[in-house]
C-alpha cells in the first residue's frame, strides 16, 4: 500500500494487511470489526483468552505484553504490517524495535511511549508547547511529594506517572493525607512503585474529550463529548457538550497543537477541563477513548471507524453527525462467571436506543460489561433515555460454576 495508490487485499488471500492488536478490550473489539469491514486480517492479543476483541478477530494470542521477550516472539511469529497498541502496559522498547524493522505502529512507538508517561506528556504539553495545564510537580519520594503539594497547593491530586483511568489516584485535601496519597500511588501504578505527579485540583465546570483524527487529508475534530466520571472511570458521556464558540475554539486549538506535536495518523482522545472561559489540557490517549463510545450512535463513522480510516491511510472528508446522543456504561460488581442481562424487551423499547454487550465472561470485583446508547432531540433527552434504559436493565449475577 503506497501513499499514491492505496489498495487493500482480502484477509484470507495472499498478502493481506496483517494487523496485530495489543489489548483486546471492548474498544479494540469495535476497531477490529471496523478493520474487518475493510478486509484486514486481524490477530488480537491479550493477557487472557476470550477477551472481547479476540472473539471477533481471525486469530488470537495470550501473553504478557509487558514482557519484552514474549512480545518480540509474538512479532516474529505474526509478522504484522500494522501494530495497534490498545492498552498502555506494553514493553514499548519492543514497539520501537518492530517499527525499526518496518512495521507501522499506531500512531507510532514514540507517541505510545509519551502518552503512557504522565511526566513526558506534561513536559511536552506545558513546558515545550506552553499549553495551559494544572500546576504540577513530579515526586520520587514522600518528601518530594510533600514539597510538591506545598507548591501546587491543597487540595491536590496525586497520580502515578505510569497509570490511567484513576488507578492509584487520590485527592489529597491537607498535609495529613499526603502519606495516604503516596501509598495509594505506589500500589496503583502500572509499573509498580515509582514516581508520581501531584497536580492542583481543578473545580472545573465540566470536562470533555475532544476526539481528534489525524488522517491523510489533515486533522478533523469530532463534536465535543461531555462526560461524568466516578472513581476515575467514565459512567456517562454525551455529545455534543454545550459550550461557547470561544471555548470550543480554544479546545480545538489545544487539541490541534498537542496532536500536531505528537504526529502520526489515527484518532486521539484529548481530555480537557473547562472552567469558565478557560480550557485546561489534562491528557491525551493515542487511540479511541471510552467516553467516545457515544459515537457508535451519534455519527455515521464512529470513533472506531475513523481510527481505522486514518491508520489505513484513507481520507476522512466529512464526519456526519446524527444529533444529540448519550452513552451510559453498565458496570457490574461481583465474583461470577455467569451473568445475564435481562428485561431487554423493555430496555430497548424506546426509539433510537441501542445496547452493546462486550462479551466478557467473568467478573471479579467491578467491571464494565456493556454500554447503553441513545439519541434524542437534545442531550438531556438522550441522557434521560439511557437513564431509563439503565433503570429497566436487570443484571443477574449467578454464583460461580
Of the pair 34, 303, the CB lying nearest ligand AMP is at 303
Closest-CA residue to 322 (of 374, 385, 255)? 374
Binding residues for ligand AMP (CB under 6 A): 134, 157, 159, 164-166, 199, 201-202, 207, 229, 232, 271, 282-283
Which three-class secondary structure string do you get for the chain?
CCCCCCCCCCCCCCCCCEEEEECCCHHHHHHHHHHHHCCCEEEEEECCCCCHHHHCCCEEEECCCCCHHHHHHHHHHHCCCEEEECCCCCCHHHHHHHHHCCCEECCCHHHHHHHCCHHHHHHHHHHHCCCCCCCEEEECCHHHHHHHHHHHCCCEEEEECCCCCCCCCEEECCHHHHHHHHHHHHHHCCCCCCCEEEEECCCCCEEEEEEEEEECCEEEECCCEEEEEECCEEEEEEECCCCCHHHHHHHHHHHHHHHHHHCCCEEEEEEEEEECCEEEEEEEECCCCHHHHHHHHHECCCHHHHHHHHHCCCCCCCCCECCCEEEEEEEEEEEECCEEEECHHHHCCCCCEEEEECCCCCEEEEEEEEEEEEECCCHHHHHHHHHHHHHHCEEEECCCC
Closest-CA residue to 165 (of 193, 196, 184, 190)? 190
Of the pair 283, 384, the CB lying nearest ligand AMP is at 283
Tell me how far, at minimum, the Cβ of 239 lies from ligand AMP, in Å: 16
Dmax (CA) of the chain:
64
Tell me how far, at minimum, the Cβ of 180 lies from ligand AMP, in Å: 17
Tell me how far, at minimum, the Cβ of 33 lies from ligand AMP, in Å: 26
Residue 306 contacts residue 316 (beta carbons within 8 Å) = yes
Of the pair 74, 131, the CB lying nearest ligand AMP is at 131
Q: Which residues pair with 59 in a beta bridge?
A: 43
Q: Which residue is nearest to ligand AMP (CB)?
A: 202
Of the pair 34, 117, the CB lying nearest ligand AMP is at 117
Residues 287 and 107: their CA atoms lie apart, in Å, by 8
Q: What are phi and psi of 315, to 5 degrees?
A: -75, 160
Of the pair 169, 220, the CB lying nearest ligand AMP is at 169
Tell me how far, at minimum, the Cβ of 396 lies from ligand AMP, in Å: 31
| Cα angle 272, 139, 85; round to 5 | 50
Of the pair 132, 166, the CB lying nearest ligand AMP is at 166
Tell me how far, at minimum, the Cβ of 369 lies from ligand AMP, in Å: 21
Of the pair 80, 226, the CB lying nearest ligand AMP is at 226
The residues annotated with a catalytic role in the active site are: 164, 166, 271, 283, 290-291, 368
Tell me how far, at minimum, the Cβ of 233 lies from ligand AMP, in Å: 8
Residue 61 contacts residue 24 (beta carbons within 8 Å) = no
Of the pair 82, 202, the CB lying nearest ligand AMP is at 202
Tell me how far, at minimum, the Cβ of 175 lies from ligand AMP, in Å: 18
Amino acid at each position: 500500500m503506497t501513499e499514491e495508490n492505496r489498495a487493500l487485499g482480502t484477509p484470507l488471500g495472499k498478502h493481506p494487511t496483517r494487523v496485530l492488536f495489543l489489548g483486546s478490550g471492548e474498544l479494540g473489539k469495535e476497531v477490529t470489526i471496523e478493520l474487518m469491514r475493510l478486509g484486514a486480517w486481524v490477530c488480537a492479543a491479550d493477557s487472557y483468552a476470550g477477551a472481547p476483541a479476540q472473539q471477533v478477530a481471525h486469530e488470537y494470542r495470550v501473553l504478557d505484553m509487558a514482557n519484552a521477550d514474549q512480545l518480540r516472539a509474538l512479532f516474529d511469529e505474526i509478522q504484522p504490517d500494522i501494530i495497534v497498541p490498545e492498552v498502555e502496559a506494553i514493553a514499548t522498547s519492543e514497539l520501537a524495535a518492530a517499527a525499526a524493522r518496518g512495521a507501522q505502529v499506531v500512531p507510532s512507538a514514540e507517541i505510545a511511549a509519551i502518552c503512557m508517561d504522565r511526566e513526558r506528556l506534561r513536559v511536552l504539553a506545558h513546558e515545550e508547547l506552553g499549553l495551559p495545564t494544572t500546576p504540577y510537580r513530579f515526586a520520587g519520594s514522600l518528601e518530594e511529594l510533600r514539597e510538591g503539594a506545598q507548591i501546587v497547593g491543597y487540595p491536590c491530586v496525586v497520580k502515578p506517572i505510569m497509570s490511567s483511568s484513576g488507578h492509584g489516584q487520590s485527592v489529597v485535601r491537607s498535609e495529613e493525607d499526603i502519606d495516604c496519597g503516596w501509598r495509594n500511588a505506589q500500589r496503583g501504578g502500572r509499573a509498580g512503585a515509582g514516581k508520581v505527579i501531584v497536580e492542583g485540583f481543578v473545580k472545573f465546570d465540566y470536562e470533555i474529550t475532544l476526539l481528534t483524527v489525524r488522517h491523510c487529508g489533515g486533522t478533523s475534530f469530532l463534536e465535543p463529548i461531555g462526560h461524568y466520571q466516578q472513581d476515575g472511570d467514565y459512567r456517562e458521556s454525551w455529545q455534543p457538550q454545550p459550550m461557547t464558540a470561544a471555548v470550543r475554539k480554544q479546545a480545538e486549538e489545544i487539541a490541534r497543537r498537542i496532536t500536531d506535536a505528537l504526529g502520526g495518523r489515527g484518532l486521539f482522545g484529548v481530555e480537557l477541563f473547562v472552567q469558565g472561559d478557560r480550557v485546561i489540557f489534562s491528557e491525551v490517549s493515542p487511540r479511541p477513548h471510552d467516553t467516545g463510545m457515544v459515537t457508535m450512535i451519534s455519527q455515521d463513522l464512529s470513533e472506531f471507524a475513523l481510527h481505522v480510516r486514518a491508520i489505513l491511510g484513507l481520507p476522512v472528508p466529512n464526519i456526519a453527525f446524527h444529533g444529540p446522543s448519550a452513552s451510559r456504561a453498565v458496570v457490574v460488581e461481583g465474583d461470577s462467571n455467569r451473568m445475564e442481562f435481562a428485561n431487554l424487551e423493555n430496555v430497548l423499547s424506546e426509539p433510537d436506543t441501542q445496547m452493546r454487550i462486550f462479551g466478557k465472561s467473568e467478573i471479579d470485583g467491578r467491571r464494565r460489561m456493556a454500554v447503553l446508547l441513545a439519541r434524542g432531540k437534545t442531550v438531556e433527552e438522550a441522557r434521560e433515555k439511557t437513564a431509563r434504559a439503565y433503570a429497566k436493565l436487570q443484571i443477574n449475577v449467578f454464583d460461580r460454576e
